[in-house]
Amino acid sequence: MTTETPALVRPVVRAGEIRVDNVSKEYGAGELYKSVVKDCSFTVERGKLTVMIGPSGCGKSTLIRLMAGFEKPTSGTVLLNGKPVAGPGRDRLVVFQETALFPWMTTYDNIMFGPRARGEDDAQAKALAEFLLDKVGLKQFRDKYPPQLSGGMQRRAELARAMINNPEVMILDEPFRGLDEMSKELMWEYYARLYEESRRTNFFVTTDIDEAIFLADRLLIMSNIPTQVCAVMEVDLPRPRKLSDMVDSDRANQIKMAALSVLHREAMKSFAGGSRAATDFIEAYSKRVRKPAP
């Protein structure tokens, strides 16, 4: 029997806006000097799911660290709701590529880690943890440890652990990269539903064009290193979204071909310089283009 969760358990979703304003990031000096981000500007709009895609190694993860406040830009400014980002904060939470669940804690205890660290181990926090366990489909696995969960379950647990802290912006760095194709596509639909229910501001980084088109409200296409935005595309596909509807969608394919064209151009620039990542992309590009029906 399913019981209705009391309204007080459901948090009022906070949706912030991040603006990256003419940001550059450089490392080292002399022969060790490297420019990773150069004069980069974009906005992660309030209540939107913004997806950033670009060649491997172009600087996307560096931008995440700057937005999260883990590092400071060499020049330019990162703003949250119009105020400069001075360091890490619970208003911006990052879900990384690698699992960050504590293996010695149960699923429930992992989700409760944030509230407990803040001294909020009260009835409201516990009720919210139970609500999120149910929301991500892990209620029956609350007492399991991370090694006992599948890769997709671990990803769902990490989403719940971030959501319980009610951040203004969720930042995700290729969170489904290590999953097999079936699990990955299931997670796309699952994550899309979570977003569509809450409309929390989300910034999602990927190198997978199909993932990007399926999830995004707005697509930022990045140049090769040093990275900057080379194209912005509005993904005007209806929500809620299902993968089965996307397969034969002419509009989805139009957006995909336009995005691939920009990515291919950037990869060719890098390919001329001998980049292995560019070679990999060009090989993948030829497999991604949907051939016209006979």
Picking from 122, 149, 166, the residue at the C-terminal end of a domain is 166
- Kindly state whether residues 248 and 174 are assigned to the same domain: yes
Distance in Å from the first CA to the final CA of the chain: 51
Residue range 56-72, pLDDT digits in tens: 788 899 999 999 999 99
> What is the pLDDT at residue 84?
95
pLDDT at residue 34 above 60?
A: yes
The whole-angstrom separation of Cα 263 and Cα 165 is: 35
Average pLDDT score over residue span 21-46: 93
The whole-angstrom separation of Cα 180 and Cα 164 is: 27
Q: Report which of 209, 227, 215 is spatially closest to residue 63, judged by C-alpha positions.
A: 227
> What is the pLDDT at residue 4?
47
- Kindly state whether residues 61 and 188 are assigned to the same domain: yes
- Kindly state whether residues 270 and 171 are assigned to the same domain: yes
Residue range 129-184, pLDDT digits in tens: 998 998 888 999 999 999 999 988 998 999 999 989 889 999 999 988 878 888 88
Question: Which residues constitute the domain of residue 222?
Answer: 7-91+167-288
What CATH number is attached to the domain comprising 41?
A: 3.40.50.300
Average pLDDT of the residues of the chain:
86
Average pLDDT score over residue span 279-288: 53
pLDDT at residue 53 above 90?
A: yes
Contact at 8 Å (CB) between 9 and 166? no
Contact at 8 Å (CB) between 146 and 101? yes
- Kindly state whether residues 220 and 256 are assigned to the same domain: yes
Picking from 135, 166, 197, the residue at the C-terminal end of a domain is 166
> Strand ranges (DSSP E) for 148-189?
169-173
> What is the pLDDT at residue 198?
86
Residue 137, domain member (yes or no): yes
pLDDT at residue 1 above 70?
A: no
Phi-psi region of 76 (alpha: psi -120 to 50; beta: other; left: phi over 0): left
DSSP-based three-state secondary structure for 169: strand
- The structure's pTM equals 0.86
Domain count, the chain: 2
Here the contacts of 93-96 (C-beta below 8 Å, separation 24 or greater) are: 93/162, 93/165, 93/167, 93/169, 93/170, 93/171, 94/64, 94/68, 94/171, 94/172, 94/173, 95/158, 95/159, 95/162, 95/170, 95/171, 95/172, 95/173, 95/175, 96/173, 96/175
Q: What band does 121 get if pLDDT is binned at 50, 70 and 90?
A: confident
Residue 2, domain member (yes or no): no
> What is the pLDDT at residue 5?
45
Picking from 112, 136, 166, the residue at the C-terminal end of a domain is 166
Q: What are phi and psi of 105, to 5 degrees?
A: -110, 150
The whole-angstrom separation of Cα 50 and Cα 215 is: 8
Q: Report which of 97, 105, 194 is spatially closest to residue 149, judged by C-alpha positions.
A: 105
- Kindly state whether residues 247 and 162 are assigned to the same domain: no
Least confident of 16-20, 61-65, 260-264, 267-271: 267-271
- Kindly state whether residues 135 and 248 are assigned to the same domain: no
Q: Which residue has the higher pLDDT, 106 or 280?
A: 106
Q: Report which of 71, 23, 73 is spatially closest to residue 43, judged by C-alpha positions.
A: 23
- Kindly state whether residues 73 and 129 are assigned to the same domain: no
Residue 119, domain member (yes or no): yes
Q: What band does 8 get if pLDDT is binned at 50, 70 and 90?
A: very low
- Kindly state whether residues 82 and 138 are assigned to the same domain: no
Residue range 192-218, pLDDT digits in tens: 988 998 889 999 999 889 999 999 999
- Kindly state whether residues 25 and 119 are assigned to the same domain: no
- Kindly state whether residues 68 and 34 are assigned to the same domain: yes
DSSP-based three-state secondary structure for 67: helix
- Kindly state whether residues 157 and 177 are assigned to the same domain: no
- Kindly state whether residues 207 and 281 are assigned to the same domain: yes
Average pLDDT score over residue span 214-242: 93
Q: Which residue has the higher pLDDT, 266 or 231?
A: 231
Residue 158, domain member (yes or no): yes
Strand partners for 170: 93, 202
pLDDT-above-70 percentage for the chain: 87
> What is the pLDDT at residue 288?
57
